[in-house]
A and B are shown apart, each in its own frame.
Chain A
């Protein structure tokens, strides 16, 4: 059974810092991995999707890497801003007959203070 773990559970940083969020998964047979952002009481917004054959994806100040063999992904946020404060979730997709089923980590709660 796939298990996804995110470290740290919570992170508080001053504005302007670069930071790294970590995600690990137990079964390396994944189809893709996605990073999502969730604001309190709201749904999820997809930030980056990395296919299993890719090593990284970038969007603006965000960069996500994937090391499938070691079961790890990182989300790097450059020059953090108070508006980045949210919960960040990673999710793996096994593909195949389980194509629609994402397995999520429990999230990292990020607070960026001015």
Chain B
């Protein structure tokens, strides 16, 4: 049973650089979600796909953030011109019904 896979696990970058994260959902799951979590807080919703359609985006997702899910399979989350405030754990989840299955996350540190 392969769960939700995220790559990379850790990313250290300098302010102003672009970064891209990848998420591979559980194969039969048609829904995919991105969340962001900072230390000591619960995850915050960023965006949600059903198949390849991006159905909802949070106001947290500024124009420096873009997410794609080509062909309704894996997804990428890109952050352009990173800022120190972008430092967080970026979590991906997928679902077929209501129960969400989360990956282990990508920890981003912006120096």
On A, residues with C-beta under 8 Å from B are: 4, 31-32, 34, 36, 41-46, 49, 51, 89, 91, 93, 97-107
Contact = CB atoms under 8 A, between A and B. Distances in A.
Contact of B31 (A31, A100, A104, A106): A100
Nearest to B41: A106
B42 A43 contact: no
A46 B101 contact: yes
Contacts, number: 64
A62 B85 CA distance: 37
Contacts of A91: 42-43
Interface residues of B, number: 27
Dominant secondary structure of chain B at its interface with chain A: strand
B48 A101 contact: yes
A106 B99 contact: no
B105 interface: yes
Nearest to B32: A100
Interface string B1-23: 00010100000000000000000
A105 B100 contact: no
A105 B42 contact: yes
Contacts of A31: 98
Given A100-B33, A101-B45, A106-B42, 13 more contacts: A31-B98, A32-B98, A43-B4, A43-B104, A44-B43, A44-B93, A44-B102, A93-B98, A100-B45, A101-B56, A102-B45, A102-B100, A104-B42
Contact of B99 (A34, A99, A103, A105): A34
17 contacts: A4-B42, A32-B98, A34-B98, A34-B99, A36-B102, A41-B107, A44-B102, A91-B43, A100-B45, A100-B55, A101-B48, A101-B56, A102-B35, A102-B100, A105-B42, A106-B40, A107-B42
